[in-house]
Chain A
Amino acid sequence: MDFGLILAAGVATGTVLLFAAIGEIFAERAGVLNLGVEGMMLMGAVAGFSTAVSTGNPWLGLVLAMLAGGLISLLHAVVTIQFRADQVVSGLALTFLGSGLARVLGEGLSNAGATALLPRLTIPVISQVPVVGPIFFRDQSVLVYVGYLLVPIAWFWINRTRPGLHLRAVGESPAAADAQGIGVVRLRYTYVVVGGLLAGLAGATITLATSPGWFSEQTTNGRGWIAIGLVIFAQWSPLRAAFGAYLFGAISRFILDIQGVDSILGVTNPFQAGRSATFFLEMLPYLMVVLVVIVGSREAARKRIGAPAALGRPYVRGERGA
């Protein structure tokens, strides 16, 4: 096993989680919990792949994937922001609807075969830097580089700009934000849709870059939920989310690759493909999420920083406690 290659592939796989998690961070920072990430990702995955198959243009696929994710997230926005419905139930409904609709739209698509994928790039000069270069900058999909850019931009936007201040105000203290003349409803709509666009992008990252093809619900296989878990671990910070996403990407690649090895240090590999012990290996990412969510909530409790104060609560002007 070449650990450099595993880490490089892990960065690509982690990019999927990165987009979804940062999208969810935006929505939650605005005070709206959206548990529909899995459904939005599947919509993006199917829209991106089917567009690329039928037009031969993966860039068009990317655009449509984001639109699909953004459009379906609008449903969650209307129901929770306008109609003040329970955000948990609405998010679950979005997951059901997105998964079902994606399966309906993706009917027959699993036999579509290969399609043109998004280009892969090697960055000159920095790809020659030892260790870091080959892992992060050699022969990666263009979307991986978009991920590198998104992390600092998201961090800067949330923590250092005026619109970012408004975003945090809307999620922490909507009544105070409203009194300041900030459009609470408008901003919440905006960031829920931003979350949807990024979840759609995450879906398309799977089908147009990291593991091309449409495999029904197996396409995402719970990664939308893993992204939501990462947000708790990341304590709503894009930088920590990036760390978590790449770590999870590397772990899931490692799990895949170790199954191809006959022996480890002279001992027969119990996790070789076809052996029943591999199922314990497959559990790892999901158990890891449980673990990081525990770590995240403990740390948040200790440092007295937690979820945005108004997360999960609809805002009604003039109502107490909002």
Chain B
Amino acid sequence: MTIRLEPRAIVPRWLSPLATIAALAVALFISGAIIAAVGGDPIRSYLHILNAAFGSVGVVSDTLVKATPLLLTGLACALAFRMRLWNIGAEGQFLLGAWGASAIVLAPVLPAGTPAIVVIPAMMVAGAAAGAVWGLIPGVLKALLGVNEIITSLMLNYVALFWIQFWVFGPWSEGGFQQTKAFPREAVLPRLTDFASSVPAFSGLTVHLGLIFGVVAAGIVWAVLERSRWGYEIRLIGDSPRAARYAGIDIARNVIVVFAISGALAGLAGMSEVSGVVHKLQDRISPGYGFTAIIVAYLARFDPLKVIVASVLFGALILAGREIQPSGVPAMIQGVILFSLIVAEVFVRYRVRFERRGLAV
């Protein structure tokens, strides 16, 4: 039997979302089969994920807390991938962003007692800038020297982790522990629960201002990509570099700028995480947000607005997956989902024909 792929002349509007949903269903089925094969109970695992991620207002809030870094790093990947720029370094840019934001209060750049209205914006700028610098390295190397950005951006993830470890074990270590001292109140993003005295329903809800950063960033990235001349350039480079060159678009400059902005978004995610959730710097602040972001971006088909939805789904998986045994299950499900999405895209782009050998013309 042979498989023949015929490009579709017209792709119906409903086909792409349908394929995505089908891919998710197939991925859950395959993952369930694997969980069952290693002696787990897939139905119970899935019910557990649903319940632990969406079962009450409190856990929905926790899901959104996990979705926040995924949203910002997912945007970082979606923007770069839209230009077919493979930034696999969101994890490292996230860590550098967390470090840059922490430096504002730990170095300290601003003296103790500086009001939050100054500290928080300073941390945002420092986090985004540190992430941007980390993103610039593979960007500049690719633009000016033609060095493959996949390897360089990925390698810098490891370097970033050791960089964080140096600071939390060394200069910023608190009492010899592998973490820094807790941030002062001025350096902490407000959470819903902080307003529980006026709105009792907010009590215990840990959603923080970082979520707003993410949603606003999604809107801005969408507007730039879809509604601006520069966004058109980025999309044109992604779809057809040759056409972009003939149109006189400066590809090298765009590679550098997009890598920097991508890094800045991931860096802002790191700032939001240390300032909104962890409230100090330590080396285990990310369970791989920057890697999951790749799948988030792909699930959203690089559409910034859909990244919001995709990040909530994967936030749920990361939140609820922590208690699932065996512990590799969430990572495995992520891999299966990505494969299913890839195959689904084939069915969207092509009409797939299975033919018995010999009958084919």
Q: Which residues of A contact B (CB under 8 A)?
A: 35, 39, 75, 79, 82-86, 88-90, 92-107, 216, 222, 225-226, 228-229, 232, 276-277, 279-280, 282-283, 286-287, 289-290, 293-294, 297-298, 301, 316
Shortest C-beta distance, B161 to chain A (Å), equals 9
Alpha-carbon distance between A281 and B86 when the two chains are bound, in angstroms = 28
Q: Is the CB of A232 within 8 A of B148?
A: yes
Which residues of chain A are within 8 angstroms of B291 by Cβ–Cβ distance? Answer: 96
Q: Is the CB of A83 within 8 A of B326?
A: no
Alpha-carbon distance between A89 and B169 when the two chains are bound, in angstroms = 36
Interface string of B136-158 (1 = CB under 8 A from A): 01000100011110111011101
**For the complex, is B88 an interface residue (Cβ under 8 Å from A)?**
yes
Q: A85-B342, A101-B328, A107-B328 are in contact. Are A92 and B88 (CB under 8 A)?
A: yes
Q: A100-B332, A107-B327, A225-B155 are in contact. Are A297 and B145 (CB under 8 A)?
A: yes
Alpha-carbon distance between A44 and B332 when the two chains are bound, in angstroms = 16
Shortest C-beta distance, B317 to chain A (Å), equals 11
Q: A279-B162, A286-B155 are in contact. Are A297 and B148 (CB under 8 A)?
A: yes
Shortest C-beta distance, B92 to chain A (Å), equals 10
Which residues of chain A are within 8 angstroms of B339 by Cβ–Cβ distance? Answer: 75, 79, 90, 93-94, 97
Q: A79-B342, A280-B166, A293-B151 are in contact. Are A96 and B326 (CB under 8 A)?
A: no
Which residues of chain A are within 8 angstroms of B325 by Cβ–Cβ distance? Answer: 107
Which residue of chain A is the closest to B92 with respect to CB atoms? A286
Q: Is the CB of A83 within 8 A of B148?
A: no
Q: Is the CB of B34 within 8 A of A101?
A: yes
Which residues of chain B are within 8 angstroms of A35 by Cβ–Cβ distance? Answer: 150
Q: A105-B38, A276-B166, A294-B145 are in contact. Are A229 and B155 (CB under 8 A)?
A: yes
Which residues of chain B are within 8 angstroms of A99 by Cβ–Cβ distance? Answer: 328, 331, 335
Which residue of chain B is the closest to A75 with respect to CB atoms? B339
* Pick from A82, A100, A225, A229: contact of B328, CB under 8 Å: A100
Alpha-carbon distance between A85 and B34 when the two chains are bound, in angstroms = 24
* Pick from A75, A95, A96, A293: contact of B152, CB under 8 Å: A293
Alpha-carbon distance between A316 and B148 when the two chains are bound, in angstroms = 25
In chain B, residues 294-337, which have Cβ atoms closer than 8 Å to a Cβ of chain A? 294-295, 298, 325-336
Which 7 pairs, one residue from A and one from B, show the smallest C-beta to C-beta distance? A103-B328, A97-B335, A276-B170, A100-B332, A100-B331, A96-B335, A107-B326
Alpha-carbon distance between A298 and B291 when the two chains are bound, in angstroms = 29
Alpha-carbon distance between A94 and B328 when the two chains are bound, in angstroms = 15
**For the complex, is B3 an interface residue (Cβ under 8 Å from A)?**
yes
Q: Which residues of B contact A (CB under 8 A)?
A: 3, 5, 34-35, 38, 86, 88, 137, 141, 145-148, 150-152, 154-156, 158-159, 162-163, 165-166, 169-171, 173, 291, 294-295, 298, 325-336, 338-339, 342-343, 345-346, 350
* Pick from B34, B330, B335, B350: contact of A98, CB under 8 Å: B335
Which residues of chain A are within 8 angstroms of B345 by Cβ–Cβ distance? Answer: 85
Alpha-carbon distance between A282 and B170 when the two chains are bound, in angstroms = 15
* Pick from B159, B294, B328: contact of A286, CB under 8 Å: B159
Alpha-carbon distance between A293 and B343 when the two chains are bound, in angstroms = 31
Shortest C-beta distance, A76 to chain B (Å), equals 9
Shortest C-beta distance, A150 to chain B (Å), equals 23
Alpha-carbon distance between A199 and B3 when the two chains are bound, in angstroms = 28
* Pick from B141, B294, B333, B342: contact of A294, CB under 8 Å: B141
Q: A276-B173, A277-B170, A290-B156 are in contact. List 15 more A-B contacts (CB 8 A).
A: A79-B339, A82-B3, A85-B345, A92-B294, A95-B335, A96-B335, A97-B338, A100-B335, A101-B34, A103-B326, A103-B332, A104-B328, A106-B328, A279-B163, A282-B162
